[in-house]
A and B are shown apart, each in its own frame.
Chain A
């Protein structure tokens, strides 16, 4: 799988928007961009995915750069329950279906 680069950590205030960046300069044309998050002592959960266009769902928005070499996960109003590790992963549909998880971004939310 192509590699992604994320900051180690970020902080946010409750009820403010949060922008979590991810660089993936070696992305191929068929790689999907996946985001998962992991709350303490739980399994990861799927957040959102995209290919070329920006995407919105009930949890978050995904903004994808025009050249697809970077993306940003946007939480519109952070809550304390959003404090978690967020993983940005590239998924090549032409390969087998495994994912490669890095260390992710640890998001802290201040009350």
Chain B
């Protein structure tokens, strides 16, 4: 089935550790996104990519890094510089043409040990 696959579902990070969240899509979409969601809040954009080998910072990019080497993959690294990483992380993809409907993965819940 076509869709967005995020892994792992749950992840634990130790102090000073970098962790990488995986996002894969088989929808043949050009654009991909990473959002962070804190309890009771809406989604905030971390990074987005409109095409392979290109990406832009969103509203809260500090402490995060991404790469886009393949169309179907957009991994997110939460670095040790992100001091409050505990949150629900959501990956999405969309076509680049309007209306740019976004399709989301099931999310990764990251906690700090």
A interface list, Cβ under 8 A from B: 32, 34, 36, 41-46, 49, 51, 87, 91, 93, 96-104
Residues of A within 8 A of B92 (CB): 43-44
Q: How many residues of B contact A (CB 8 A)?
A: 29
Residues of A within 8 A of B90 (CB): 43-44
Q: Are A103 and B42 in contact (CB under 8 A)?
A: yes
Contacts across chains A and B counted by CB atoms under 8 Å? 62
From A91, A100, A101, contact of B99 by CB (8 A): A91
From A36, A43, A97, contact of B48 by CB (8 A): A97
Q: Are A97 and B42 in contact (CB under 8 A)?
A: no
Q: Are A97 and B50 in contact (CB under 8 A)?
A: yes
Inter-chain CA distance A17–B35, complex, in Å, is: 32
B46 → A minimal CB distance (Å):
11
